[in-house]
Structures are given as C-alpha cells and as structure tokens.
C-alpha cells in the first residue's frame, strides 16, 4: 500500500528572529496544510533547511510534527545524510518518535558509486521497520540513483517502497517506471513536472508549491488520478509562472519569502542562505498575485 497518494508538502521550518525554530508557527502551518487538502507532511527535508538544523533541532521538529498531525495524515521525516551512520541514527530516532515513513536523500558532497548507494540505503533500511522513500536530486547532491539501482534496492529491501524523483530527467523516470513495473512508487520532486510524472505511473508529488498553494497542488494530482487529465494539465500549466519564481533562487529562499508575503511571518533563513534579491522578490510578488494568492 502506498504511503500516500496526492500532494505531500515539503514543509518549511519557520524560525524566530533569533534563528531558533518557531514551533508555534510550525504547528499553525501544519494545521493550514491539513485543512487545505495536503495529503502528507514531509518534515525536515531540503525545504525545511534540515542541513543547518542541529540533530537535536532536527529530531525535535520530527517529534513535534508527529504530535501535531496526530494521525490526520502520514508524516514523512527527512533523515538523510552523507554519513551512513548519521542517517541510521536519525532514521531510528524518527521511527521511535512515530514517523510513518522516512525520506532519505542520496549522499551529498562525498557522493557514492551505485554499489555504495545500495550499501548506504540498504544499511538504513535494515536499521528500521518503517517505509523508506529514496530521494534522488542530483542537482543538489551531485549523485544520481540510476533506475536499475532503484529497482535492485526495491527488490532487496522490502521497506524501500518509493522514490522522490527530482532529477528532472523524464527519460530516466520513464526507464525507471519501465524497469520497476510497479515495484516502487514514484513521486515527483519537481513541481513543474507533476503531470508528466503522473503520466508515467507516478502517484503524487512532494511539493514546494504546496507551502503557498496546498489545495491547488492537491487538485493537480487529484484531478489526474480521478481521470480528468485535461483539468490536471490546466492546473499544472496555470501554476508554472509561480513555480518558476519559487525557484528563481535556491530553495527554500523564495518559498520562505513567499510565505512572508502571505503574512505567515515565518522568519529568516539560516546561513549560508540569504535574503531574496529585491528584483526577484518583486517578480515573486507579481507571480503570486497573478496566481490569485492574497499577497500582503
């Protein structure tokens, strides 16, 4: 059974002005998402600035999210690391806190061979019982999971059940869908490619766009899965200008700016991320207005 079908939000981590995690605001954001169609909460992913959270903060966010969601939707905890031992530690702790599944990114900076990826993910899979979503995002990690490697891991480890595919390479996704033949669930990791991924057998998206437009993102997937491909494509295309602006600078710089434009007061980013450039902010503001969002 799939962990979820539809749109899961790669939720931001709101900060207080002093740079600490704003848990009260995180709770408000979680409630907003679940009240507006979001099908899963993905906590401490790239968009959640996991790379600059301490282990203590990282695990506190996971524990808080599980408690706040309280069974209303699956909670998928980002627990990846370029250190296998660290990823195992975070994964085990997330399981203890009640996460429904794990999102585990490929090792970054030191990267890995395909054999190394099998060993890395396999070690993590053997350390927990809950499902694992592989996260393939070569543009950020410099490491690509080849389709044959994904299938090898899905066949070898029963709890490796899905992949967030953010390579941007539709041909690679098509090859994966062909080789996997239903053995692994595919989620789009790119908001501008939701419909293309669904057309290849995908079952949803793990989304940045959902932070600012949860119902609309949910509807893109729901329409497709209900058989209304034309409506799904219309919604996808209508969102493209905004999606483009949400990635005008490295994620999550623009989406945090967008949330502040919506009045959420989610606070600053952690260094080395910086405040969005003024020119980009104005284009983002206009794209949000054109999309029908209530910009303050």
Provide the annotated active-site residues.
Answer: 135, 164
DSSP string over 58-102: HHHHHHHHHHHHTTSS-EEEE---SSHHHHHHHHHHHHHTT-SEE
The phi and psi torsions of 101 (rounded to 5 degrees) equal -160, 170
Cβ neighbors of 32 (< 8 A, separation 6 or more) are 214
Phi/psi zone of residue 168: left (φ > 0), alpha (ψ -120 to 50 degrees), beta? Answer: left
Closest by CA position to 76, among listed 139, 155, 163 = 163
CA atoms within 13 A on the CB side of 172: 18
**Residue 130, SS3 per DSSP:** coil
Q: Is the dihedral of CA 270, 293, 247, 220 positive or negative?
A: positive
CA atoms within 13 A on the CB side of 201: 17
Distance CA 263, CA 294 (A): 9
Closest by CA position to 205, among listed 169, 164, 167 = 164
Distance CA 71, CA 105 (A): 25
Structure letter (DSSP) for residue 110: S
Judge contact between 208 and 255, C-beta under 8 A.
yes
Beta strands in the chain (DSSP E): 6-10, 40-43, 75-78, 101-105, 132-136, 160-165, 185-188, 204-207
């Amino acid at each position: 059974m799939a962990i979820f079908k539809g749109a899961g939000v790669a939720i931001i981590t709101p900060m207080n002005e002093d740079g600490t995690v704003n848990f009260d605001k995180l709770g408000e954001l979680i409630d907003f998402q679940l009240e507006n169609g979001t099908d899963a909460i993905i906590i401490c992913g790239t968009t959640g600035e996991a790379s600059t959270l301490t282990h203590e903060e990282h695990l506190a966010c996971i524990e808080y999210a599980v408690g706040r969601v309280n069974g209303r939707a699956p909670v998928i905890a980002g627990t990846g690391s370029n250190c296998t031992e660290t990823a195992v530690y975070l994964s085990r702790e997330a399981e203890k806190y009640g996460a429904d599944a794990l999102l585990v990114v490929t090792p970054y900076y030191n990267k890995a061979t395909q054999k190394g990826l099998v060993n890395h993910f396999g070690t993590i899979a053997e350390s927990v019982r809950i499902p694992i979503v592989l996260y393939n995002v070569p543009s950020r990690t410099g490491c690509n999971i080849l389709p044959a490697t994904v299938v090898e891991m899905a066949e070898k480890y029963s709890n490796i059940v899905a992949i967030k595919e953010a390579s941007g390479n539709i041909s690679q996704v098509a090859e994966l869908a062909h080789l996997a033949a239903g053995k692994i669930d595919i989620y789009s990791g790119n908001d501008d490619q939701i419909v293309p991924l669904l057309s290849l057998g995908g079952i949803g998206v793990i989304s940045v766009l959902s932070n600012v437009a949860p119902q609309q993102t949910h509807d893109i997937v729901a329409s497709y899965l209900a058989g209304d491909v034309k409506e799904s494509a219309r919604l996808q295309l209508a969102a493209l200008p905004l999606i483009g602006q949400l990635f005008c600078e490295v994620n999550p710089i623009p989406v945090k700016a967008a949330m502040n434009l919506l009045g959420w007061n989610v606070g600053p980013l952690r260094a080395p991320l910086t405040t969005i450039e003024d020119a980009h902010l104005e284009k983002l503001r206009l794209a949000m207005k054109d999309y029908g969002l209530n910009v303050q």
